A = this chain, B = another copy of it.
């Protein structure tokens, strides 16, 4: 069955994954019933690249640009000025601040999304996001976003499913921005996508669910185990993440004697995945003590990105 992990280099990381999965999915003393084989994965930086900025930000920038075109006076202030002028340095700096201080950064991004979606029906937003994925190109790879997905991780999802696991995404990214692509890119249906959530309200007149003008919750750090329990009602056996914000989810999984994977972006070979530790310093420093299995992009992945056209 490990043919399914063909983009994983031979070595201790791949061995650790295979040995854990064969143990819990086998019929020995450590076997876990299929219904309890839950695996959870962060999205940005874990299943696909989050550099030079999370895809969601690229989408919001487009919306801000359109708002400036409709109302040029907006161009006098941020973030509209940066959006209108393509000042990705300013936008990327806003992301970096997240990693240098508190957890408020992605909140700001999602907060900006709030202004775009307030009053919109969930169906209209899904259509707008689907159209973006259909058309937009990744800023540095120049490919469709479908090709910004990590091939070894998609292989891992299929490998886990072949061993009776049910896989969920548990991301700080906004839930309904992920749902229009997760089935096609990852084979994960919308009901298994957990993410940060915009407030919602039911419109009794039109029988539509619409976005409210605020954030419901930000799914990062200690919120991740809370949202896993809310959605699934089980403790995961396997979790994968890549940043400090994933540590609570990884620890929650370990408590159940699980497998906790931490993707380390350390590839210097120029295969298109920019190396960085920012936002993952604590997780990397404590990985050994906490029992995380570190996945080295440079050493453990023989191929990095999927090639959707070749698929």
Contacts and interface: CB of A to CB of B under 8 A. Distances in A.
Interface string A111-131: 000000000001100000000
Contacts of A123: 235
How many copies of the shown chain assemble into the complex? 2
A233 B35 contact: no
The prevalent SS among residues of A at the interface is helix
A204 B229 contact: no
Contacts of A201: 222, 226
Contacts of A206: 255
Nearest to A38: B191
A251 to B, nearest CB: 5
A248 B122 contact: no
Given A189-B35, A234-B190, A234-B191, A229 B200 contact: yes
Which of under 10, 10 to 19, 20 to 34, or 35 or more describes the interface residues of A?
35 or more
Contacts of A223: 202
Interface of A: 35, 122-123, 166, 175-176, 179, 189-191, 193, 197, 200-202, 204, 206-209, 222-226, 229-235, 248, 251-252, 254-255
4 closest A-B pairs by beta carbon, nearest first, are A190-B233, A202-B222, A207-B255, A200-B226
